[in-house]
Amino acid sequence: MQLAYHDNGTGSVVVLLHGFPLDRSLWKAQVAGLQGRYRVIVPDLRGHGDSPSPAGSYPMEAMADDVAGLLEALKIGEPVVLGGLSMGGYVALAFAARYADRLRGLMLINTKASADSPEAAQGRETQAKEVEAAGSADPVVDKMIPKLFAESTRKQRPEVIEVVVEQMRKTSVDGVAGALRGMALRPDRTTDLAGIKVPTLVLTGEEDQLIPIEESRRMMETLPKGELIVIPKAGHLTPLENPEATTTAILKYLDALG
């Protein structure tokens, strides 16, 4: 699977994976803030943005293999820092399980290591069927939007929400259904966390309604080298909702890695 991507800047490599059902533009502000010191690679995960959308489910491991394939295609042999938001974080954890020696750092952003409950997995299948019946991403978008943003984003930066809605609605039916079914399949990676040897930044938004802060706290406590940063004025899409604080936190973490 050949992924669409942007590759900006020079220096040690940082790869950032977007959430569901978004695309690489989620990281626009972070790319701008990091590219003076780092080589920042932002792919569109399969089924999203400009990447291909095959039919069928997208296991997180397959998406992690896509990312490994992209690094190979770019002839990047040295270990990288990999960050992922929400579904991108599930993919980053699958990558860490499969390719531990290719990492020098990990950033788990608005994400969690736990699996879906049986009810949540069933709910994703129902949503996938709704999207297929509608012939568009709309049923999922309509359900997600009210839960994605912090109060301050809704009140002070409604234009951010408009951009996200537009982006989500463009995601193909196969892409949305494939990602939903793939997320439902993902294993519980909580026990993996204790074996992650690289320094790991756990970052989340103070008002994330989809993934409560307790999930982030639990991950930080289990990680041997975990650090937790909670960003104010941000819900589930921290990099977009409070881009300055997010970029500053990421830069501080990256610079400390050396």
Binding residues (CB under 6 A) for ligand MLT: these are 19-20, 86-87, 183, 210, 236
Residue 87 C-beta: closest distance to ligand MLT, Å: 3
Q: Which of 156, 210, 201 is nearest to 183 (CA)?
A: 210
Which lies closer to ligand MLT via its Cβ, residue 60 or residue 199? 60
Q: Is 27 within 8 Å of 18 (Cβ atoms)?
A: yes
Q: Which of 74, 73, 93 is nearest to 82 (CA)?
A: 93
Backbone angles phi, psi at 188, to 5 degrees: -70, 120
Question: In angstroms, rounded to a whole number, what is the distance separating the alpha carbons of residues 10 and 184?
Answer: 37
The separation between the first and the last C-alpha atoms of the chain, rounded to the nearest angstrom, is 32
Residue 118 C-beta: closest distance to ligand MLT, Å: 15
Residue 11 C-beta: closest distance to ligand MLT, Å: 28
Q: What residues form DSSP beta bridges with 106?
A: 82, 200
Residue spans of beta strands (DSSP E) within 95-152:
103-109
Which lies closer to ligand MLT via its Cβ, residue 19 or residue 199? 19
Residue 184 C-beta: closest distance to ligand MLT, Å: 9
Which lies closer to ligand MLT via its Cβ, residue 19 or residue 178? 19
Residue keyed to tokens 């399969």? 46
Residue keyed to tokens 């069933």? 122
Which lies closer to ligand MLT via its Cβ, residue 89 or residue 105? 89
Residue 46 C-beta: closest distance to ligand MLT, Å: 14
Q: Which of 36, 49, 53 is nearest to 6 (CA)?
A: 49
Which lies closer to ligand MLT via its Cβ, residue 87 or residue 203? 87
At how many degrees (to 10) do helices 87-98 and 173-185 cross? 60
Question: In angstroms, rounded to a whole number, what is the distance separating the alpha carbons of residues 138 and 140?
Answer: 5
Which lies closer to ligand MLT via its Cβ, residue 10 or residue 209? 209
Which lies closer to ligand MLT via its Cβ, residue 104 or residue 208? 208
Residue keyed to tokens 């756990």? 202
Residue 111 C-beta: closest distance to ligand MLT, Å: 8
Residue 50: exposure state from Cβ atoms within 10 A (0-12, 13-18, ≥19): exposed
Residue 121 C-beta: closest distance to ligand MLT, Å: 11
